[in-house]
Amino acid sequence: MPPIANAQSRGLAHSAAQLRFEGRTALVTGASQGIGRALALALASEGAAVHLLARAGTRLVEVAREAGERCRPLAADLTSEATIRAAADDVGSGEQAVDLLVHCGGQYARGTVAESQVEELDAQYQLTVRAPYLLTQLLLPGLRSHPSDIVFMGSTVRPAALLGAYAAAQTAQAALVRALRDELKDDDIRVLAVFPGRTATPRQARIFALEGRADAYQPERLLQPEDVAAITLDALCLPRRAEVTEVWLRPAVATY
């Protein structure tokens, strides 16, 4: 596939103040819906060239169409090491090295430790820890070549009954983020962890249903994906001398 054309190469007449991410190249996983989609669209609207990575090829194409030529869909299964490596090779082969890596891929699981299949834990670990670990590892040489940022989209969920596998994977990811930040502190690579509370996404609608509260799902009372995208981009736009390490968000109205 041809490389993404950046805003400068197309001669778009916008000032740097209007396009805060002009000249930057991002890779966003989980970009076909929810927070990943909102982040991809926001980055494109701010001038970034964006690689959209997710398993749902059709939805990815729709997001790319909505964002315009700034976005490039790249269908890949984050549970497959081979496709992760292929995606890393793909984005690393173009003229524009990725300088913003955003991990939004993941899924929600619910069940007791006694009765859940161990494969459910494996799936949570694969999507939440192993896939971002491997993708980050593969892209680090390019990220180290210039000032860069890595974003991990986490969760405010805490360990509780029925959430053993999900909470374990989220906790492991948080540990990975802290270790990675310490490793990269001298490489001009900032590592940001974002922890959104309940957000109006297709996944959240499923969570309410799994909780037996489908009738209580009121998306207008929740955070919106655009809210999460807005605060994330604002944090990334601080001067390089400053680093936001964590952002915690929650709905202003109680939803639990």
- Kindly state whether residue 166 falls inside one of the protein's structural domains: yes
Instruction: List, for the chain, all residue ranges whose pLDDT scores fall below the cut of 70.
Output: 1-17, 93-95, 255-256
The pair of structure tokens assigned to 237 is 């736009």
- Structurally, how many domains does the chain consist of? 1
Paired strand residues for 153: 194
Global pTM value: 0.90
Give CA–CA dist 1/53, Å, rounded: 14
Domain annotation covers residue 2? no
Give the pLDDT score at 94: 63
32 located within any domain:
yes
Q: Answer yes or no: is 73 within a domain.
A: yes
Report if residue 151 sits inside a domain: yes
- Examine residue 17 and state whether it is found in any structural domain, yes or no: no
For strand 148-153 and strand 189-196, is the pairing parallel, antiparallel, or unpaired?
Answer: parallel
pLDDT at 4: 58
* Closest-CA residue to 156 (of 170, 175, 140): 170
pLDDT at position 256, please?
61
The whole-angstrom separation of Cα 158 and Cα 142 is 34
User: The domain spanning residue 161 has which CATH number?
Assistant: 3.40.50.720
| Interatomic CA distance for residues 105 and 54, integer angstroms | 7
Is 52 within a domain? yes
Both ends of the chain: CA-CA distance in Å?
45
Full residue range of the structural domain in which residue 59 is found: 25-248
Count of Cβ atoms closer than 10 Å to residue 166 Cβ: 24
Whether residue 11 is contained in a domain is answered as: no
Contact indicator for 148, 101 with CB cutoff of 8 Å: yes
**CA 153 vs CA 4, 110, 121, 197, 247: distances in Å:** 24, 19, 19, 11, 10
Q: Check: CB of residue 233 under 8 Å from CB of residue 40.
A: no
